[in-house]
Amino acid sequence: MTGGIQRIQYAVTGIVQGVGFRPFLHRLARETGVTGFARNTGHGVSGEAQGDAQAVGVFLAGLTDPRRLPPLAVVREMTHQAIAPVPGETGFAICASAADGRETLISPDIGMCEDCRRELFDPADRRYRYPFINCTNCGPRFTIVRRVPYDRASTTMARFAMCADCAREYGDIEDRRYHAQPDCCSGCGPRLWYAGADGNEQPGDAIAQAQALLMRGGVLAVKGLGGFHLACLPDEAASSMLRARKHRDEKPFALMCRDMDAVRRICIAGAEEEQALLGPRKPIVLLRKRQRGSLTWLSDNEDIGVMLPYTPLHALLMDGEADTLVMTSANPSALPAVISNDEAVASLHGIADGYLLHDREIEARCDDSVLRIADDGRGMAEYFIRRSRGYAPQPVHIDFDCTGVLALGAEQKASFALGKGQDVFYSQHIGDLKNAETLAHYEDQIARYMSLFGIEPKRVVCDLHPDYLSSRYAGRTGLPVLRVQHHHAHMLSCMADNGLDGECIGVIWDGTGLGEDQTIWGGEFLIGGYGGVSRAASMRPILLPGGDAAIRQISRIGDSLLWDAGLPGASPLTAAMLDKRINCPPSSGMGRLFDGVYALLTGRRDVTYEGQGAVLLEALACGAQDEAGSLPVQLYTDESGVLRLDTRPMIRALVSLRDGGAESARLAMMFHRTLIGAAVQICVQLRGRTGLDRVVLSGGVFFNQILLRGLSSALRDQGFGVYIHHRVSTSDEGIALGQLAAACSGGQDA
Ligand code: ZN
Ligand code: ZN
Ligand code: FE
């Protein structure tokens, strides 16, 4: 050993690639005076550091100090060991990657950082009001990359040659823009312009013209990070006009607010929600409306989705008179959102009155992420409605090896997942796989993920439903196919999401999924684990008059519930269908029960989007004034040994209370309470039978916060460990994770 000089070998795992980690190490080395090197490896970043004991100590401490790490970096583990010093070493080097270059992860797109914001609004800065300002800590990534290795030539920034000033920053390890591939300025980067309704460029200040259009009440198409948005003022006139032009159903519109003050004028935001809004990923966060029953033209329920400006372009647009805008994705109904200028002008004709366009191409469509903050029993955590921009393609880390598995998801809210080591590369939001355009987008993204992450799938997993386009795609791959029952996949998804092994009870409630008996399932109580799952209990099926038609015509389900319970009041036509069982598939789906009960309580006949009845029933229950009691139900065991929850007694009680003039809000709350109570009763029975005391909650019905909160806490009160999703969505979007888990544990064809 020479005079107190130490040398260590260190290795860091976690999210440490593509997030500016090596430049961070270089700066840390400069500050502490250590010499050595750093490089990306297949597992993270590793290297060596040398200096006196104190310098090495500070360097090591800095490696894991969350206050110092680049904003997106997450260190999972850091190990180090002493090795022999290297005499005469000077400087700290960033080495080329160790392997094939593919291990450098592609970062998600990141919202504009505070440093860039300051420069954007600083008249003295050379990028003052430049709409494409970015740096190592922020900017476009996933949406502009065409291939690996990730460098400028591989992105849609390739056509913009860096000017001398930008190139100097890019090459300077001390600079915030060191190796920032999309680095640019007004002298060398993309250009923004405003176009009128005809798509032709208008001379003059683009932002000012766009703002003027909005203030006149017009609809503006804005080219964003992963697609176009349609924007307008949030008042009733402008947003109703947008809704009419878009032929949009009553699905809520999201808002973009200038800052937290603007958010708070409309909604209530707690500390965790504020943190999610302000963080680098900039999702849409669902917040409670400040005033109950307000802004009905924006949202049909008590929540409203809000996001903050996440690109410099948005920040400039919001820096005007309006501090809040409707910002909804510009997708022609049911088709993927448009991403190119020509496509936008062609397909938004008659919808947009003007366009904010630029010449940086969007390589991959990526819609906004949507989440809420929910209590997962250990604290308030992210609960995804949609995991997309800002999160994809960052892998979900799981506890087992899943290399070479491609999980294809379901049909609605389609997504896919590709496994490599213990990382699951989860797709962005794709949409409902119900048309050729969405299927093409899905297939393109599978191919893109395979090439970006260097994954050659050896096996595919799909849903049991043979007609899903994802299931058909599975057959076309020519690879061995595992088919996993829909609700089994939901359950395993929640287990993998929470790192659970062994066996659990799963309460899996959703709208529709094909069951093992070829009927529609969706109100399921399952037991098992990765090795296999069985159906222990379920809702007693009801008939869906007209099949899928009942999804929109919820009065048919209301009629079916009446008919089933032996009550009068069903429409004669529906009753005749039910009597003769004409096109009346049985379903144990929980989502449909919500729709039917909503129809019974309110008399509403149709809904405009799938699951709206359930959304509105929850919103209705939120208005209940007092602690509503519960209603009778009955449990019995059917001929196949499955415990069944019979809701007919509840329907009879609900209808009689309704006819007696009871307040519908109170009845809606009683319905929720009844389901919670019955689910707890069933879980207690299953625990008695199996000894299992952990419950996972999954399925789209658990977007319902009254159920999620109520059932979680009631189960905890009974001594159960309760687990909800927190890294993938509880909806069908999260299914691919469960499919992948089934394939990795030698699961058999369901
Ligand atoms: Zn930045
Ligand atoms: Zn430049
Ligand atoms: Fe589902």
Q: Which residue has the higher pLDDT, 143 or 14?
A: 143
Q: Where are the alpha helices (DSSP H) in 420-468?
A: 436-453
Please, which residues have CB within 8 angstroms of residue 370's CB and are 6 or more apart in sequence? 254, 283, 284, 285, 286, 305, 384, 385, 386, 388
Quote the ligand 1 centre to 118 CA distance (angstroms): 9
Residue 563 makes CB contacts below 8 A (sequence gap 6+) with 543, 570, 574, 575, 578
> What separation in Å is there between the alpha carbon of 132 and the centre of ligand 2?
11
Q: Is 726 left (phi over 0), alpha (psi -120 to 50) or beta?
A: alpha
**Closest listed ligand to the CA of 413:** 3
Largest CA distance in the chain: 96
* φ, ψ for residue 569, nearest 5 deg: 115, -15
In the chain, ranges of CATH 3.30.420.360 domains: 395-498+732-743
Question: In the structure, how many helices (H) and strands (E) does the chain have?
Answer: 22, 32
- The rounded Å distance from CA 156 to ligand 2 centre is 16
CA 144 / ligand 2 centre spacing (Å): 18
Three-state DSSP state, 27:
helix
CB–CB of 407/396 below 8 Å? Answer: no
- Would you state the structure tokens that stand for residue 123, as one six-digit string? 């008249």
Question: Confidence band (pLDDT; 50, 70, 90) for 615?
Answer: very high
Contact (CB, 8 A) for 142 and 388: no
State in Å: Cα 512 to ligand 3 middle: 6
Taking a 5 Å cut-off on Cβ, the residues next to ion ligand 1 are 113, 116, 135, 137-138
The answer for residues whose C-beta is within 8 angstroms of residue 205's C-beta and 6 or more apart is 194
| Sign of the Cα pseudo-torsion (471, 476, 477, 478, in order) | positive
Residue 169 Cα, ligand 1 centroid: separation in angstroms? 13
* Four-point Cα dihedral 258, 261, 265, 271, nearest 10: 110
pLDDT of 23: 81
Q: 3-class SS at 476?
A: helix
* C-alpha 109 – ligand 2 centre gap (Å): 21
Q: How far apart (Å, rounded) are the C-alpha atoms in residues 595 and 552?
A: 9
The alpha carbon of 135 and the centre of ligand 1 are apart by a number of angstroms equal to 4
CATH number of 539-697: 3.30.420.40
Residues 261-297 pLDDT 10s: 999 999 999 999 999 999 999 999 999 999 999 999 9
Instruction: For residue 115, give the ligand nearest its CA.
Output: 1
Task: Please name which ligand lies nearest the alpha carbon of 135.
Answer: 1
Q: What are phi and psi of 484, to 5 degrees?
A: -115, 130
Nearest ligand to the CA of 177 is: 1
| Ligand 2 centroid, distance to 39 Cα (angstroms) | 28
Does the pLDDT value for residue 747 go beyond 50?
no
Using DSSP, state whether 722 is helix, strand or coil. strand
Centre of ligand 2 from the C-alpha of residue 167, in Å: 7
Pairwise CA distance, residues 392 & 366, whole Å: 8
Question: What is the 189 CA–ligand 2 centroid distance (Å)?
Answer: 6
Mean pLDDT of the chain: 94
Question: For 676-723, what is each residue's pLDDT tens digit?
Answer: 999 999 999 999 999 999 999 999 999 999 999 999 999 999 999 999
Specify the pLDDT at position 405. Answer: 98
More confident residue, 664 or 14: 664
Q: How deeply is 305 buried, as exposed, middle or buried, from its count of CB atoms within 10 A (0-12, 13-18, 19+)?
A: buried
- Torsion angles phi and psi, residue 276, rounded to 5: -65, -40
Sequence-distant contacts of 681-686: CB under 8 A, at least 24 apart: 681/635, 682/525, 682/537, 682/635, 682/643, 682/645, 683/505, 683/507, 683/525, 683/715, 683/718, 683/720, 684/718, 685/537, 685/635, 685/643, 686/505, 686/525, 686/527, 686/536, 686/537, 686/643
pLDDT in tens, 450-466: 999 999 999 999 999 99
Alpha-carbon torsion, ordered 731, 470, 433, 615, to 10 deg: -20
Sign of the alpha-carbon torsion through 182, 187, 191, 193: positive
**Where does 5-94 sit in CATH, by number?**
3.30.70.100
User: How much distance in Å is there from the Cα of 139 to the middle of ligand 1?
Assistant: 7
C-alpha 702 to ligand 3 mean position (Å):
11
| The model's pTM | 0.94
> Ligand 2: distance of its center to the CA of 170 in Å?
10
3-state secondary structure at position 652: helix
Dist. CA 97 → ligand 1 center (Å) = 25
Tokens 């509840």, residue located: 650
Number of the ligand closest to the Cα of 164: 2
What's the pLDDT at 748?
41
Query: Could you tell me the distance, in angstroms and rounded to a whole number, from the CA of residue 179 to the centre of ligand 2?
Result: 14
Query: How many angstroms is it from 126 CA to the middle of ligand 2?
Result: 9
3-class secondary structure, 587: strand
733 alpha carbon – ligand 3 mean position (Å): 8
Closest ligand to residue 493's CA: 3
Distance 725 CA to ligand 3 centre (A): 14
187 Cα: distance to centroid of ligand 2 (angstroms)? 5
Q: Which ligand is nearest to the CA of 703?
A: 3
For ligand 3, the distance from its centroid to the CA atom of residue 503, given in whole angstroms, is 21
Q: How far is the CA of 185 from the centre of ligand 2 (A)?
A: 4
CATH classification for the domain delimited by 192-358, as one of 3.90.870.40, 3.60.15.10, 3.40.50.300, 3.10.180.10:
3.90.870.40
Q: Domain 395-498+732-743: state its class.
A: alpha beta
Nearest to 311 by CA among 517, 132, 152: 132
Convert the pLDDT of each residue in 472-528 to its tens digit.
Answer: 999 999 999 999 999 999 999 999 999 999 999 999 999 999 999 999 999 999 999
Cα of 287 vs centre of ligand 1, distance in Å, is 27
Asked if residue 393 has a cis previous peptide bond (ω within 30° of 0), the answer is: yes
Give the number of whichever ligand sits closest to the CA of residue 170: 2
- In which residue are the tokens 């060596």 written? 48
Whether the link from the prior residue into 149 is cis, omega within 30° of 0, is yes
153-166: average pLDDT: 96
Looking at all shown ligands, the one closest to residue 700's CA atom is 3
Query: Cα(402)–Cα(406) distance, rounded to whole angstroms?
Result: 9
- Determine the Cα–Cα distance for residues 48 and 586; give it in Å rounded to an integer: 64
Span from the CA of 138 to the centroid of ligand 1 (angstroms): 4
> How far apart are the CA of 168 and the centre of ligand 2, in A?
9
Cα(726) to ligand 1 centroid in Å equals: 28
Between the two ends of the chain, the Cα-to-Cα distance in Å is 63
Ligand 1 centre distance from Cα of residue 234 (Å):
29
Q: Which of 651, 647, 650 is nearest to 600 (CA)?
A: 651
**Alpha carbons 567 and 569: distance in angstroms, whole number:** 7
Stretch(es) of the chain classified as CATH 3.90.870.40: 192-358
For residue 135, the CA-to-ligand 2 centroid distance in Å is: 12
CB-based burial label for 740 (10 Å; 0-12, 13-18, 19+): buried
Reduce the DSSP state of residue 127 to 3 states and report it: coil
Instruction: Grade residue 589 by pLDDT with cuts at 50, 70 and 90.
Output: very high
